Amino acid sequence: MSTPLRASITAVGGYVPETKLTNFDLEKMVDTNDEWIKSRTGISERRILKEPGKASSDMAVKAIEEILRKKHLDPMEIDCIICATVTPDMVFPSTANIIGDKLGAKNAFGFDLGAACSGFLFALTTGSNFIETGRYKKIIVVGVDKMSSIIDYTDRATCIIFGDGAGAVLLEPTTDGLGIQDSILKSDGSGRDYLHIKAGGSLKPASVETVMAKEHYAFQDGQPVFKFAVKGMADVSAELLEKHNLTGDDIAWLVPHQANLRIIDATANRMGLPMEKVMINIQKYGNTTAATIPLCLWEWETKLNKGDNLILAAFGGGFTWGATWLKWAY
């Protein structure tokens, strides 16, 4: 039997801005403290893109340029750029278009994909499906968010959690059995009330009133999101393992969305995985939304071995959630 055509990740790039926003900085801005933030979320600091005139596309370009350098790749060889983000440079055109222009990837078509914190998984699965058609050879999937552009730094419910960053992967075809094996993706729009931006869309266009009411900032009702996230991320990861008769012993690494250390703990527990097999960098970067998972892959790249089974798992606004099983290809 011939091995099916699959997509494998053949390179990873990442970028986080230099400016750090620590828990101690936040103590001076809102009624919070380092102890509370660390014990409730696991976060100590996050990165903020401070430079005026810089946007999500600039972070994405930096992450992708690392891939181009590592692979000695000409931007003209890229077939497609899929950008997962909730903080596009502009409402339109898509940030993927802007990234393509800044990179000089003139042969690539591109589009943005909005699935909030699950955006990277949704985009990875989409890119992988394009590769499996046999028509595309090199696809960039980038998860990027400049969360600082939609955070109200007087709202302690959100400002302690989010940070800025970008992570990207290159997808290429393979028939060696490695690469992306399967994904289970889920959406439930009834969750939109708990995590959203109220104004600036077609429902409630931006106006002086909406800005005065701070409705252009991200709103989160943390507790219900937390409950859905714990259940959603753990359930879908367990479902993916069961579907393929895998157990925690078969898995080399869990790569979870970094929203809250307690959600990560619950997911690892449910999968029967010790914490040594879980990628965690939430303490340094906070929740970078679409960038958390590729930023973990970026940081752990040198520790990964060919053939390692990885489970990528996410939960986010929408609600959206999902898990992907892949075999590391290099």
**Interaction site with ligand UT7 (CB under 6 A):** 32, 36, 40-41, 117, 156-157, 160, 222-223, 225-226, 229, 259-260, 263, 287, 315-317
CB of 124 to ligand UT7, least distance (A): 17
Dihedral sign from CA coordinates of 246, 250, 255, 259:
positive
CA 215 from centroid of its chain's CA atoms: 24
Identify which of residues 125 and 260 has a Cβ nearer to ligand UT7 in the complex: 260
Of these residues, 23, 97, 260, 287, which one is catalytic? Answer: 287
CB of 209 to ligand UT7, least distance (A): 27
Identify which of residues 141 and 259 has a Cβ nearer to ligand UT7 in the complex: 259
SS3 labels along 247-307: CHHHCCEEEECCCCHHHHHHHHHHCCCCHHHECCCHHHHCECHHHHHHHHHHHHHHHCCCC
Report in angstroms the alpha-carbon separations of 167 from 2, 124, 272: 33, 12, 28
**Residue whose pair of structure tokens reads 């106006």 in the numeric block:** 207
Identify which of residues 102 and 231 has a Cβ nearer to ligand UT7 in the complex: 231
**Residue whose pair of structure tokens reads 């969360």 in the numeric block:** 147
Half-sphere exposure in the Cβ direction for 226 (13 Å, CA): 12
Burial of 277 (0-12, 13-18, 19+ CB in 10 A): middle
CB of 33 to ligand UT7, least distance (A): 6
**Residue whose pair of structure tokens reads 């390179």 in the numeric block:** 11
Can 196 be counted among the known catalytic residues?
no
Identify which of residues 162 and 253 has a Cβ nearer to ligand UT7 in the complex: 162
CB 78 within 8 A of CB 283: no
DSSP letter for 4, please.
P
How far is 327 from 253, CA to CA, in rounded Å?
Answer: 10
Of these residues, 83, 117, 159, 296, which one is catalytic? Answer: 117
CB of 223 to ligand UT7, least distance (A): 5
CB of 330 to ligand UT7, least distance (A): 29
CB of 196 to ligand UT7, least distance (A): 11
**Residue whose pair of structure tokens reads 């955070």 in the numeric block:** 151
In the chain, the N- to C-terminal Cα span, in Å, equals: 24
CB 95 within 8 A of CB 291: no
Of these residues, 196, 257, 260, 281, which one is catalytic? Answer: 257
Q: Which residue number has the CB closest to ligand UT7?
A: 222
79's tokens: 């077939």
Identify which of residues 157 and 252 has a Cβ nearer to ligand UT7 in the complex: 157
At residue 71, the 3 state secondary structure works out as helix
Identify which of residues 105 and 313 has a Cβ nearer to ligand UT7 in the complex: 313
Active-site residue list:
117, 257, 287
